[in-house]
Amino acid sequence: MNKLQRCAALFLAGIIFLLSGMPLHAESATEGKLVLGTSADFAPYEFHKTIDGKDTIVGFDIEIAKEIAKDLNKELVIEDMGFDALLPALQSGRVDMVISGMTPTEERRRSIDFSDNYYQSKQIIMVRAADQGRFPTMDSLRGASIGVQKGSIQEEIGQGIPDAKLTSLDKISDIILQLQTNRIDAVIMEDTVAAGYLSDELVLADAVPDTTAVQAAIGIQKGNTELLQSVNETLTRLKNNGDIERMVTEASQLSAGTKDEKALSIWNVFWEYRGFYATGIGYTLLLSALGVLFGFIIGLFICLIRMSGIGIIRWIGSAYVELLRGTPMLVQLMIIHYGLALTFGINLSPLQSGIITLSINSSAYLAEIFRAGIQGVDRGQMEAARSLGMNRGKAMRHIILPQAFKAVLPAIGNEFITIIKESSIISVIGMVEIMYQASVVKNITYQGMSPYLIAAAFYFIMTFGLSKLLGRWERKLSASDIR
pLDDT 10s digits, 455-479: 999 999 999 988 888 888 777 766 6
Domains 3-22+272-481 and 32-118+217-230+251-261 share a fold: no
Which residue type is seen at 381? Q
CATH number among 3.30.70.260, 3.30.70.20, 3.40.50.300, 3.40.190.10, domain 120-214: 3.40.190.10
CATH number among 3.30.460.20, 1.10.357.10, 3.40.50.360, 3.40.190.10, domain 32-118+217-230+251-261: 3.40.190.10
pLDDT 10s digits, 442-456: 877 777 788 999 999
pLDDT of residue 478: 67
pLDDT of residue 29: 44
Contact between 190 and 122 under an 8 Å Cβ cutoff? The reply is yes
pLDDT at residue 97 tops 50: yes
pLDDT of residue 432: 86
End-to-end, the C-alpha distance of the chain in Å comes to 40
Apex 48 CA angle, 45 and 53, nearest 5:
140
Domain boundaries, the chain: 3-22+272-481, 32-118+217-230+251-261, 120-214
**Helix/strand/coil (H, E, C) string of the chain?**
CCHHHHHHHHHHHHHHHHHHCCCCCCCHHHCCEEEEEECCEECCCEEEEEECCEEEEECHHHHHHHHHHHHCCCEEEEEECCHHHHHHHHHCCCCCEECCCCCCCHHHHCCCEECCCCEEECEEEEEEHHHHHHCCCHHHHCCCEEEEECCCHHHHHHHCCCCCEEEEECCHHHHHHHHHCCCCCEEEEEHHHHCCCCCCCEEECCCCCCCCCEEECCEECCCCHHHHHHHHHHHHHHHHCCHHHHHHHHHHHHHHHHHHHCCCCHHHHHHHCHHHHHHHHHHHHHHHHHHHHHHHHHHHHHHHHHCCCCHHHHHHHHHHHHHHHCCCHHHHHHHHHHHHHHHHCCCCCHHHHHHHHHHHHHHHHHHHHHHHHHHHCCHHHHHHHHHCCCCHHHHHHHHHHHHHHHHHHHHHHHHHHHHHHHHHHHHHHCCCCHHHHHHHHHHHHCCCCHHHHHHHHHHHHHHHHHHHHHHHHHHHHHHHHCC
Say what percent of the chain tops pLDDT 70.
Answer: 89
Apex 356 CA angle, 350 and 360, nearest 5:
150
Q: Taking residues 132-155, what's their average pLDDT?
A: 92
pLDDT of residue 25: 38
- What is the pTM for the complete model shown? 0.71
Contact between 416 and 288 under an 8 Å Cβ cutoff? The reply is yes
pLDDT of residue 23: 39
Say what percent of the chain tops pLDDT 90.
Answer: 44
What is the chain's mean pLDDT, rounded? 85
Q: Taking residues 60-87, what's their average pLDDT?
A: 92
pLDDT of residue 259: 52
Q: Taking residues 341-370, what's their average pLDDT?
A: 90
Query: pLDDT class for 3, splitting at 50, 70, 90?
Result: low
pLDDT of residue 22: 40
pLDDT at residue 17 tops 50: no
pLDDT of residue 24: 36
Supply the CATH classification number for the domain 3-22+272-481. Answer: 1.10.3720.10
pLDDT 10s digits, 189-217: 988 888 778 888 899 999 988 766 778 99
